[in-house]
């Protein structure tokens, strides 16, 4: 199974001590967002986890101790660096700092394990098509050869996004085609593989690949492991990712990104971070209650039997040496 650490919140940027503690103790508890009294336990051990997937906008807090996870687990990293400033991403590092951190991450894990995310792509009076293309070109120039690929998506107009960002301009089909053509051209000039995520449009005519941002093919190539042929069900329309289990929590990311889908409000998320998080708790937010029902999560391996057998033989041989 795939453990995801960053789909619901930026765990790496804000909760690194908790995350490292969970891997040290070998398990994490996750409260069901729909049924709050149901809690799932996931084992965080190499025999139960095929790959640990990270997604963050700032890897600086974990870099000094990242080896504690990478030495034991197969890993994969998604790093979001966009055109937006503090007006849109209040607690996200500036672009140059983010690029420098990505290059440091590459020195630790290698480019094959890193996907650069440039999303969501949205338009306002300040963040125009021209600004996106100029910034994307600048980033491609710095990141070419240091990432496996770039993944982008167009903003989805959630109801709360319309409330949080009244200045947001609607993206027409013509707008998306023009942006896709420009992004595809720039990525191609820099030799960067560009693909979509969660976007139903077909942009292959612009040199853009349509694929999930977390597929077994991608994870296998990054780690030199072999997965079974399995259907990638995704999480929503246009998503072609393999299923994963997230150990984070909604309404807990203090980044304050105005386009965020995982927080009901930035104020609520910041309050939860300050008042509900205990690094010693197996839950990201809060503690177990007497009324909670804890169940063991399903952790079926996606690896081929042949690869698992070879890996087991290799471990036995290493113990005999």
Write the pLDDT tens digit of every residue in 176-210: 999 999 999 999 999 999 999 876 678 999 999 98
pLDDT digits (tens, 9 = 90+) for 245-256: 999 999 999 999
Instruction: Share the mean pLDDT of the chain.
Output: 93
DSSP string, 35-58: STTEEEEEE-STTT-SEEEEEES-
Residue 165's pLDDT band, with cuts at 50, 70 and 90, is confident
Given this model, what pLDDT does residue 318 score?
54
217 CA to centre of own chain: 17
Q: In the chain, what are the domain boundaries? A: 2-320
pLDDT of residue 232: 86
d(C-alpha 83, C-alpha 136), whole Å = 7
Q: Would you identify the CATH topology of the domain 2-320?
A: pyruvate-formate lyase- activating enzyme (3.80.30)
At 317, the pLDDT band (50, 70, 90 cuts) reads low
- What is the edge-to-edge ordering of all strands in the sheet holding 245-246? 209-210, 194-196, 149-154, 114-121, 75-80, 51-56, 2-4, 245-246
Q: What is the pLDDT of residues 254-307, one digit of tens each?
A: 999 999 989 988 999 999 999 999 999 999 999 999 999 999 999 999 999 999
pLDDT-based confidence at 160, cuts 50/70/90?
confident
| Range with the poorest average pLDDT among 57-61, 165-169, 283-287 | 165-169
């Amino acid at each position: 199974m795939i453990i995801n650490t960053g789909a619901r919140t930026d765990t790496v940027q804000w909760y690194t001590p908790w995350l490292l503690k969970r891997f040290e103790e070998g398990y994490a508890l996750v409260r069901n967002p729909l049924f709050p009294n149901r809690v799932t336990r996931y084992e965080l051990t190499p025999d139960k986890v095929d790959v640990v997937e990270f997604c963050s906008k700032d890897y600086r807090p974990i870099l000094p101790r990242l080896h504690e996870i990478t030495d034991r687990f197969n890993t994969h990293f998604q790093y979001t660096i966009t055109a937006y400033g503090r007006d849109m991403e209040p607690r996200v590092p500036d672009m140059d700092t983010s690029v420098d951190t990505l290059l440091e991450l590459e020195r630790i894990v290698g480019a094959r394990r890193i996907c650069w995310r440039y999303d969501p792509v949205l338009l306002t009076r300040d963040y125009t098509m021209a600004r996106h293309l100029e910034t994307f070109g600048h980033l491609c120039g710095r990141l070419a050869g240091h990432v496996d690929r770039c993944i982008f998506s167009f903003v989805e107009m959630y109801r709360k996004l319309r409330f949080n960002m009244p200045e947001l301009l609607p993206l027409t089909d013509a707008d998306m085609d023009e942006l896709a053509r420009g992004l595809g051209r720039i990525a191609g000039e820099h030799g960067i593989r560009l693909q979509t995520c969660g976007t139903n449009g077909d942009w292959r005519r612009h040199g853009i690949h349509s694929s999930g941002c977390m597929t077994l093919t991608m994870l296998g190539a990054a780690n030199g492991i072999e997965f079974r042929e399995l259907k990638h069900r995704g999480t929503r329309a246009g998503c072609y990712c393999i299923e994963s289990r997230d150990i984070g929590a909604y309404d807990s990311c203090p980044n304050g990104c105005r386009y965020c889908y995982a927080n009901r409000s930035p104020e609520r998320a910041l309050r939860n971070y300050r008042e509900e998080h205990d690094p010693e708790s197996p839950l990201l937010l809060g503690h177990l209650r007497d009324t909670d029902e804890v169940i063991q999560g399903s952790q079926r391996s996606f690896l081929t039997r042949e690869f698992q057998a070879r890996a087991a033989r290799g471990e036995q041989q290493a113990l005999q040496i």
